[in-house]
């Protein structure tokens, strides 16, 4: 690991450090054409250039020094940082529920990664207690790092590992499960676990944070408190996503794993239940149900773990004048299931028909979902819809596109029989298709409208 | 011992005398040498850009506190610094458990301000201006700009940190009589403006948030209050010499670091006016000096400071006081807590600042850290206590206090009591050490109050959302070639030209030197006249201006050019100036009409002299020679102004 003493440096910058025998974390004095600089050499992010050396100066700021300006430099000492969240033993409190936290990566608790310059997750009950001591008033916590991947790298293998871990913990008699998760694909995992872990006796709560926990205003701590409370106390035994309701630090929402979607790239209040209302509102004080019907907590351990997943399912996001070869290519590459994300009520152009017919002949399972996200496929309304159904495309009701992809993958991991597949697809496990869309299931408020502006001014959203 | 009769007023006077405190007017260089006055500055200056620093919101638009579109709430929580440490300020702010409310206005804030969107690339216009100022300040400019997050848990920034970056280190300013060294210059985003701070709720508005700002930090090289002010002015003038910085209320603010010999670095925050600096630094140096004397007294009195502890009991159960002030608090549901401070007799009324004593230090901290609104306590050494002597005696007995102790009573909601007690004990223990490092807020009377614990380097964290920005040599060289002339060189020029020194502040603060120089060089007008005309005449006229809107200084140049072209004497400008300032759109011909100017040949004016002299002498009496000249001059002045040089006329008379 000789390279470790020059962590992240390469090319020209590495040569300069080697030449003057200055290590990363070494304190140094650098003479340059722009004057003298003093400080501690810091590691450099992997993707940054090889023309600069990063130095932390006495006032705590970091600066970069251009190697082309350096006359000489000298190591005058060595001071390695010990970046560690203070670890304190998580206290056991009699009478509090037992909650298991699975770590998967993501920004619930994180620390700096010099390799990428980004933040990486830090995670253990002790570290969490050090960072969010309030957790000890909510539950008795155990943690387990199932794996550590960024949200966008979550996939079938991770879904299956999580489902199995959930089954094991329920067998061990846990009162609730929290899964720390990056937010980008939180809703995919929510759907996958809903299908894989059926008849749950306890809550399974997925939680993340939109602003990394290395910042004072992060939503991580409050989300974590809400999630622990939901897992330990709530009587909703379903797979849920627990994230901020408004962008203000006020309350969280519990969303059903099959109806939730990330709707903004960076807002704290990014997760929204689509086509329905959330399950409940949660604050540090209380959990207030919004929906009346949900699966209740039970004392038994009769969970059904169905850890199946096929990686032969893809999605086709339709755009006007799409050429048929796009669909042909998917079929040729061996995809057995395709979720089409169509326009309006569930449409694609006629140009695709021959390709659809070819796919149908090959026995590809095709389901129609909507770019509009809200609403149902209604393929009887126009001829084109009927044409497509005649060519084997099955409308998937108001199932969200990502959920449909997860579900078809999960089904094809179990059976290839078209009739069985169709029956399973259209038979909801947990409201991925609902019979009714309540009036308040679609509320995308429009800024600028007087009544909305008044609402926003008076209520912290 | 003095236990029979303790007089807090006498104690206050005596401790003030011991510290050698004198009013600022009576202080001289020796006063400051005696206490080892030391001070440095952090001068903040907003840059004149169209947009904010990390988003595309417009900069420089402000809204009234009640004019907002939405409110957002945040709580702040301390996080680790890059080196794995918690910052002291951060922990203090976390203790205070504030709910922060932000009022946002759609015109001036987007999702970036409220930290719901990562930063957009740094505004290049601001970077360029800041680099120009770095070069003018003779700083070593960095090779690569690294955006850093500086934690602020007071809520002044919704993210909980300020994005900031160092552009240069180790610079130097050449003042007329002294060199002042610079530690660094950084570019940073401006913070929110506070609307209110009551109890556990603090409210801010986000209009100013995110505007680009630079901070010039000096070494503590100033050894008396006047030097601090001079340095501050110099830095402000330097910034303004670029013509690319904002001016007006709040566009330039400074934090002043002060200590006395043996004291600690105390930062007086947000000093809005340079002229307040001398009084503030004077008082702060003496506050520290007096606290050190108090420490010495405590040390002789308390055998083992490490074991020192407060003792407290709740009033109400065993001790019922019929005091109406206390009853009012109890009625409001607050707990009444009596606290004994062992060995603290004479400490609470110890002099700290004019009109303030050590008890204020405790009260100020209770307000900030425990969120107890003032008045938040009564104490046994107040000049006019709301509790009677008998009541204090009862409290002392209740607490089993000794004669050399002091007592206080505070009131707080149950959940704030613990923090309040910790705060009281902590501040008293600090008295054994001397002067706590802290930031203090300046008040108009020249005194200061506690604002927060002084943050250290532990609150810095690299901004993982932004990439470093390289500063190539070629770019820096190109900037170096387009810098304005240095202030010190301009200062020397003005001196050489014989422009009176009392005009410099106005000329530099309005960045009018280039105008002065252009009038002198291009129009060939006497330097001393131009300098005085602008430094005195323009300043005065601008001060009396009744119409709104900014002065168009370019008009002054046009005025002199006009006079030159018309062959009129430049002295006429003085008479025209008030009209031009008041009615900037009026053309110069009309101005001449409105001041009733008449063009008369020089010879004609001169020819009137003998007649007037005769008239004067015919008035009888025994006038002196000067009187005659003054009288004749008075008669001819208006007629001659603009038509000939008045000095020449005076000589001829």
Q: Give the separation between CA A52 and CA A41, rounded to whole angstroms.
A: 11
B621: left (phi over 0), alpha (psi -120 to 50) or beta: left
| pLDDT of amino acid A292 | 93
* B266 has pLDDT over 70: yes
| pLDDT of amino acid A214 | 72
On whether the CB atoms of residues A253 and A263 are closer than 8 A, the answer is no
CA distance A455 to chain B (A): 9
The two structure tokens encoding residue A423: 């029956």
Q: How large is the average pLDDT for residues B468-479?
A: 96
Asked if A63's CB is within 8 angstroms of B145's CB, the reply is: yes
What are the DSSP calls for B152-210, one per residue?
Answer: -TTSSSTTSEEEEEEEEEEEEEE-SS-EEEEEEEEEEE--PEEEEEETTEEEEE-SSTT
Within its chain, how far is the Cα of A204 from the centroid?
Answer: 15
Instruction: Count contacts between A and B (CB, < 8 Å).
Output: 186
Chain B residues with beta carbon closer than 8 angstroms to that of A248: 71-74
Phi, psi for B605 (deg, rounded to 5):
-65, -45
- For chain B, give the percent of residues with pLDDT over 70: 95
The region of weakest confidence among A410-414, B99-103, B317-321, B485-489 is: B317-321
Paired strand residues for A31: A36, A72
CA distance B36 to chain A (A): 24
Chain A residues with beta carbon closer than 8 angstroms to that of B141: 34-35
pLDDT tens for each residue of B269-278: 989 889 999 9
Of B72, B75, B142, which is closest to A247 when you measure between CB atoms?
Answer: B72
The region of weakest confidence among A134-138, B317-321, B415-419 is: B317-321
| pLDDT of amino acid B81 | 55
Measured between CB atoms, does A20 come within 8 Å of chain B?
A: no
Banded model confidence at residue B97, pLDDT cuts 50, 70, 90: confident
Q: Give the separation between CA B320 and CA A11, rounded to whole angstroms.
A: 78
Beta strands in B443-531 (DSSP E): 448-453, 460-462, 469-470
- For chain A, give the percent of residues with pLDDT over 90: 75
Q: Give the separation between CA A173 and CA A192, rounded to whole angstroms.
A: 23
The region of weakest confidence among A199-203, B281-285, B451-455 is: B451-455
What are the DSSP calls for A426-444, one per residue?
Answer: HS-SSSSS-S---GGG---
| pLDDT of amino acid A62 | 93
Assigned CATH class of A98-305: alpha beta
Of A212, A216, A247, which is closest to B116 when you measure between CB atoms?
Answer: A247
**Domain A313-426 fold:** Rossmann fold (3.40.50)
Phi, psi for A262 (deg, rounded to 5):
-80, 125
Measured between CB atoms, does A452 come within 8 Å of chain B?
A: no
Give the active site residues of A: 107, 183-184, 262
Asked if B79's CB is within 8 angstroms of A266's CB, the reply is: no
Helix axes B414-433, B277-301, angle to 10 degrees: 80
Q: Where is pLDDT greater, at B454 or B394?
A: B394
| pLDDT of amino acid B393 | 94
Banded model confidence at residue B105, pLDDT cuts 50, 70, 90: very high
Residue of A nearest to B91 (CA): A216
* A257 has pLDDT over 80: yes
Q: Give the separation between CA B291 and CA B125, rounded to whole angstroms.
A: 46
| pLDDT of amino acid B1 | 40
**Burial B20-57, CB ≥16 within 10 A → b, else e:** ebeebeebeeebbeebebbbbbbbbbbbbbebbbbbeb
Of B74, B82, B90, which is closest to A81 when you measure between CB atoms?
Answer: B82
Residue of B nearest to A214 (CA): B79
- For chain A, give the percent of residues with pLDDT over 70: 93
Banded model confidence at residue B627, pLDDT cuts 50, 70, 90: confident
* A339 has pLDDT over 90: yes
Asked if B83's CB is within 8 angstroms of A83's CB, the reply is: yes
- Distances B404 to B302, B347, B387 between C-alpha atoms, Å: 10, 10, 19
Banded model confidence at residue A84, pLDDT cuts 50, 70, 90: low
Interface test with B, best of A66, A108, A217, A221 (most B CBs within 10 A): A217
Q: How large is the average pLDDT for residues B57-73?
A: 95
Of A61, A63, A221, which is closest to B144 when you measure between CB atoms?
Answer: A63
Banded model confidence at residue B611, pLDDT cuts 50, 70, 90: confident
Q: How large is the average pLDDT for residues B524-551?
A: 89
* A44 has pLDDT over 70: yes
* B92 has pLDDT over 60: no
Asked if A212's CB is within 8 angstroms of B140's CB, the reply is: no
* A205 has pLDDT over 60: yes
* B528 has pLDDT over 60: yes
Q: Give the separation between CA A219 and CA A213, rounded to whole angstroms.
A: 7
Query: Domain extents for chain B?
Result: 8-19+308-436, 36-265, 485-597, 601-653
* Owner of token pair 């925050």: B269
Beta strands in A318-391 (DSSP E): 337-342, 365-370
Q: Give the separation between CA A303 and CA A287, rounded to whole angstroms.
A: 24
Q: Where is pLDDT greater, at B592 or A231?
A: A231
Measured between CB atoms, does A54 come within 8 Å of chain B?
A: yes
- Which residues are CB-neighbours of B39 under 8 A, at least 6 positions away? B220, B222, B223, B225, B227, B228, B256, B257, B258, B259, B281, B285
* A118 has pLDDT over 50: no
- For chain B, give the percent of residues with pLDDT over 90: 73
* Owner of token pair 């930090």: B217
- Which residues are CB-neighbours of A104 under 8 A, at least 6 positions away? A146, A147, A148, A149, A154, A158, A162, A179, A180, A181, A182
- Which residues are CB-neighbours of B266 under 8 A, at least 6 positions away? B257, B258, B259, B284, B288, B435, B437, B438, B439, B440, B454
| pLDDT of amino acid B88 | 57
* A41 has pLDDT over 50: yes
| pLDDT of amino acid A56 | 92
Of A34, A48, A221, which is closest to B141 when you measure between CB atoms?
Answer: A34
Q: How large is the average pLDDT for residues B256-274?
A: 94
Q: Where is pLDDT greater, at A59 or A276?
A: A276
C-beta neighbour count of A230 within 10 angstroms: 26
Banded model confidence at residue B2, pLDDT cuts 50, 70, 90: very low
Sign of CA pseudo-dihedral A272, A276, A280, A281 = positive
pLDDT tens for each residue of A85-107: 666 778 899 999 999 999 886 54
Average pLDDT value for chain A: 91
Interface test with A, best of B88, B97, B143 (most A CBs within 10 A): B143
Banded model confidence at residue A116, pLDDT cuts 50, 70, 90: very low
H helices present in B337-388, as ranges: 358-369
What are the DSSP calls for B423-452, one per residue?
Answer: HHHHHHHHHHHS---EEEEE-TTS-EEEEE
Dihedral Cα B451, B453, B457, B460, nearest 10 deg: -60
* Owner of token pair 């060189």: B489
**Domain B8-19+308-436 fold:** Gyrase A; domain 2 (3.30.1360)
The region of weakest confidence among A226-230, A266-270, B248-252 is: B248-252
| pLDDT of amino acid B86 | 58
Asked if A62's CB is within 8 angstroms of B153's CB, the reply is: no
CATH of domain A3-78: 2.30.30.520
pLDDT tens for each residue of A161-181: 999 999 999 999 999 999 988
Query: Domain extents for chain A?
Result: 3-78, 98-305, 313-426
Chain B residues with beta carbon closer than 8 angstroms to that of A213: 79
On whether the CB atoms of residues A47 and A117 are closer than 8 A, the answer is yes
Average pLDDT value for chain B: 91
* A160 has pLDDT over 50: yes
* A1 has pLDDT over 50: no
Q: Give the separation between CA B335 and CA B410, rounded to whole angstroms.
A: 8
Burial class (CB in 10 A: 0-12, 13-18, 19+), B569: middle
């Amino acid at each position: 690991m000789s390279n470790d003493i020059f962590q992240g440096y390469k090319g020209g910058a590495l040569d300069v450090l080697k030449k003057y025998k200055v290590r990363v974390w070494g304190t140094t004095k650098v003479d340059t054409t722009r004057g003298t600089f003093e400080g501690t050499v810091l590691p450099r992010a992997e993707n940054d250039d090889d023309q600069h050396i990063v130095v932390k100066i006495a006032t705590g700021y970091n600066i970069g020094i251009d190697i082309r300006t350096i006359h000489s430099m000298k190591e005058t000492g060595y001071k390695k940082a010990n970046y560690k969240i203070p670890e304190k033993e998580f206290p056991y409190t009699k009478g509090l529920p037992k909650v298991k936290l699975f770590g998967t990566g993501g920004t619930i608790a994180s620390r700096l990664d010099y390799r990428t310059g980004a933040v990486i997750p830090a995670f253990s009950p002790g570290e969490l207690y050090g960072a969010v001591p309030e957790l000890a008033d909510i539950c008795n916590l155990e943690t387990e790092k199932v794996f550590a991947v960024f949200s966008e790298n979550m996939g079938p293998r991770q879904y299956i590992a999580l489902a199995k871990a959930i089954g094991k913990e329920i067998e061990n008699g846990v009162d609730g499960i929290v899964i720390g998760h990056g937010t980008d694909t939180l809703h995919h995992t929510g759907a996958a676990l809903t299908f894989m872990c059926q008849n749950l006796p306890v809550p399974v709560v997925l939680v993340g944070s939109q602003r990394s926990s290395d910042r004072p205003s992060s939503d991580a701590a409050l989300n974590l408190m809400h999630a622990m409370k939901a897992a330990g106390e709530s009587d909703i035994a379903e797979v849920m996503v627990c994230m901020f309701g408004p962008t203000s630090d006020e309350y969280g929402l519990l969303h059903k794993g099959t109806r939730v979607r990330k709707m903004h790239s960076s807002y704290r209040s990014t997760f929204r239940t689509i086509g329905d209302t959330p399950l409940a509102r949660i604050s540090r004080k209380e959990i207030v149900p919004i929906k009346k019907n949900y699966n209740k907590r039970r004392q038994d351990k009769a969970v059904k773990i169905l850890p199946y997943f096929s990686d032969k399912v893809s999605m086709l996001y339709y755009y006007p004048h799409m050429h048929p070869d796009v669909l042909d290519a998917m079929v040729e590459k061996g995809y057995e299931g395709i979720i089409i994300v169509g326009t309006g009520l569930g449409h694609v152009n006629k140009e695709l028909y021959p390709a659809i017919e070819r796919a149908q002949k090959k026995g590809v399972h095709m389901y129609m979902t909507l770019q509009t996200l809200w609403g149902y496929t209604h393929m009887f309304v126009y001829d084109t819809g009927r044409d497509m159904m005649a060519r084997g495309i099955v409308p998937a009701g108001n199932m969200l596109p990502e959920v449909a992809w997860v579900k078809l993958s999960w089904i094809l991991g179990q059976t290839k029989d078209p009739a069985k597949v169709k029956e399973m697809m259209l038979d909801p496990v947990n409201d991925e298709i609902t019979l009714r869309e309540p009036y308040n299931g679609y509320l995308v408020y429009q800024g600028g409208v007087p009544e909305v502006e008044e609402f926003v001014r008076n209520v912290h959203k | 011992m003095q236990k029979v009769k303790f007089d807090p007023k006498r104690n206050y006077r005596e401790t003030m005398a011991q510290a050698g405190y004198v009013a600022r007017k009576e202080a001289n260089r020796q006063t400051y040498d005696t206490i080892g006055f030391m001070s440095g500055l952090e001068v903040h200056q907003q840059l004149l850009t169209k947009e904010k620093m990390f988003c595309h919101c417009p900069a420089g638009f402000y809204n009234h506190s009640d004019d907002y579109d939405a409110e957002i709430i945040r709580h702040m929580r301390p996080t680790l610094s890059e080196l794995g440490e918690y910052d002291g300020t951060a922990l203090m702010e976390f203790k205070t458990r504030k709910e922060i409310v932000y009022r946002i206005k759609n015109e001036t804030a987007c999702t970036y301000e409220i930290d719901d969107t990562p930063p957009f690339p740094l505004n290049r216009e601001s970077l360029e201006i800041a680099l120009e100022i770095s070069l003018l300040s003779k700083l070593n400019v960095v090779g690569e700009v690294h955006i850093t997050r500086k934690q602020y848990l007071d809520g002044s920034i919704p993210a909980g940190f300020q994005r900031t970056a160092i552009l240069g280190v180790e610079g130097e300013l050449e003042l007329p009589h002294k060199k002042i060294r610079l530690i660094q210059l950084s570019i940073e985003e401006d913070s929110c403006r506070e609307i209110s701070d009551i109890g556990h709720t603090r409210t801010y508005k986000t209009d100013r948030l995110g505007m680009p700002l630079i901070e010039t930090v000096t070494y503590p090289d100033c050894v008396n209050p006047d030097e601090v002010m001079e340095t501050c002015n110099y830095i402000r003038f330097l910034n303004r010499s670029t013509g690319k910085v904002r001016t007006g209320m709040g566009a330039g603010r400074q934090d002043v670091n002060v200590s006395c010999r043996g004291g600690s670095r105390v930062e007086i925050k947000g000093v809005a006016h340079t002229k307040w600096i001398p009084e503030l630094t004077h008082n702060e140096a003496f506050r520290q000096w007096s606290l050190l004397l108090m420490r010495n007294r405590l040390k002789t009195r308390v055998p083992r400071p490490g074991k020192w502890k407060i003792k407290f009991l709740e009033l109400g159960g065993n001790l019922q006081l019929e005091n109406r002030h206390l009853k009012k608090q109890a009625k409001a549901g607050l707990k009444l807590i009596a606290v004994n401070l062992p060995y603290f007799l004479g400490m609470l009324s110890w002099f700290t600042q004019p009109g303030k004593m050590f008890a204020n230090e405790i009260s100020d901290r209770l307000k900030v850290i425990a969120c107890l609104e003032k008045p938040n306590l009564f104490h046994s050494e107040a000049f006019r206590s709301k509790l009677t002597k008998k009541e204090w005696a009862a409290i002392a007995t209740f607490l089993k206090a000794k004669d050399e102790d002091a007592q206080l009573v505070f009131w707080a909601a149950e959940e704030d009591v613990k923090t309040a007690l910790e705060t009281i004990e902590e501040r008293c223990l600090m008295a054994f050490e001397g002067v706590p490092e802290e930031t203090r807020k300046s008040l108009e009377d020249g005194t200061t109050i506690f604002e927060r614990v002084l943050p250290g380097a532990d609150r810095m964290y690299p901004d993982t959302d932004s990439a470093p920005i390289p500063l190539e040599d070629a770019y820096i060289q190109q900037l170096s070639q387009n810098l304005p002339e240095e202030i010190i060189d301009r200062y020397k020029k003005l001196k050489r030209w014989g422009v009176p020194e009392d005009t410099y502040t106005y000329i530099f603060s309005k960045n009018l030197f280039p105008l002065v120089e252009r009038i002198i060089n291009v129009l060939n007008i006497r330097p001393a006249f131009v300098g005085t005309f602008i430094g005195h005449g323009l300043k005065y006229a601008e001060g009396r201006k009744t119409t709104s809107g900014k002065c168009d200084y370019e008009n002054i140049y046009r005025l002199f050019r006009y006079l030159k072209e018309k062959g009129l004497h430049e002295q006429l400008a003085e008479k025209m100036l008030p009209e031009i300032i008041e009615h900037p759109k009026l053309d110069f011909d009309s101005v001449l009409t409105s001041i009733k100017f008449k063009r008369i040949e020089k010879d004609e004016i001169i020819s009137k002299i003998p007649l007037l002299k005769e008239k004067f002498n015919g008035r009888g009496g025994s006038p002196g020679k000067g009187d005659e000249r003054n009288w004749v001059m008075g008669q001819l002045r208006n007629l001659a102004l603009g038509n000939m040089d008045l000095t020449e006329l005076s000589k001829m008379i």
